[in-house]
Amino acid sequence: MIIAIDGPAASGKGTLGKRLAEHFGFAHLDTGLLYRAVARVLMERSIPLTDRDAAAQAAQNLDVSHLEDDSRLRGAAMGEAASVVSAYQPVRDALLAFQRQFGAQEPGAVLDGRDIGTVVCPDAEVKLFITAAPEERARRRHRELLSRGEQAEYETILLDIRRRDERDMSRSTAPLKPAADAMTLDTTHLDADGTFRAALDLVERKRPAKVGR
């Protein structure tokens, strides 16, 4: 069984994906980390993010082990860089097979990203589109950065989020949008626990009987 979770930056889909995976005993993949890792390779080699060929090569040779534990992939700057390289079709093509193979695990997998329900796993049994108002998403990201001791300005974060939304939704390659059969959950007025409970209710309506715990 596959649970596909899509949505814009800081909507809460990553935290939700982890909790749903733990609840059902499924594997979890934050696909955004793949694109952050590609961007990191370019940045560490002082290669411009606009170099599509280098980005594609980095994606083809990407080491996908220990993504969750790599602190270098965190932070707003890396998220912005990932948004740039993720718009390149060759990069997405290079990472597609790995994502689909991950989703094929038994008893199931939860994948979150921007195009899981539309491109990566179009046949997923459950598709969720998690969203929230840009201002609330900026507040969440601001609190997260401050909690890690990083300097952050709310207005700058809000501007970055709006810019990423525009880039992700308007790109020609796998634009950010809900799948036709996705269930949309607006988390603007929900905390992490409320989001989990609401999402779990939606998943339970769709999932086959006796799957997961």
pLDDT digits (tens, 9 = 90+) for 76-135: 789 889 989 998 999 999 999 999 999 999 999 999 999 999 999 999 999 999 999 999
Q: Which two tokens stand for residue 31?
A: 């696909």
Q: Break the chain into its structural domains and give their ranges.
A: 2-205
What local confidence, expressed as pLDDT, does residue 132 receive?
A: 97
Residue that has been written with the tokens 């890396």 in this structure: 78
What local confidence, expressed as pLDDT, does residue 71 receive?
A: 84
* 122 is annotated as contributing to ligand binding: no
* 15 is annotated as contributing to ligand binding: yes
* 58 is annotated as contributing to ligand binding: no
* 8 is annotated as contributing to ligand binding: yes
Q: Which two tokens stand for residue 44?
A: 């560490």
pTM of the model: 0.90
Number of other residues whose CB lies within 10 A of the CB of residue 75:
16
Q: Which CATH number applies to 2-205: 2.40.128.20, 3.40.50.300, 3.20.20.150, 3.40.50.1220?
A: 3.40.50.300
* 11 is annotated as contributing to ligand binding: yes
pLDDT digits (tens, 9 = 90+) for 129-180: 999 999 999 999 999 888 888 888 999 999 999 998 998 899 888 899 999 9
What local confidence, expressed as pLDDT, does residue 155 receive?
A: 96
Q: Which two tokens stand for residue 107?
A: 């008893």
* 12 is annotated as contributing to ligand binding: yes
Asked if omega into 107 is within 30° of 0 (cis), the reply is yes
Closest CA to 128 of 61, 203, 67, 41: 203
What is the spatial distance between Cα 20 and Cα 9, in angstroms, rounded to a whole number? Answer: 19
Closest CA to 53 of 91, 81, 98, 82: 91
Q: Are 18 and 142 in contact (CB under 8 A)?
A: no
What local confidence, expressed as pLDDT, does residue 6 receive?
A: 98
* 13 is annotated as contributing to ligand binding: yes
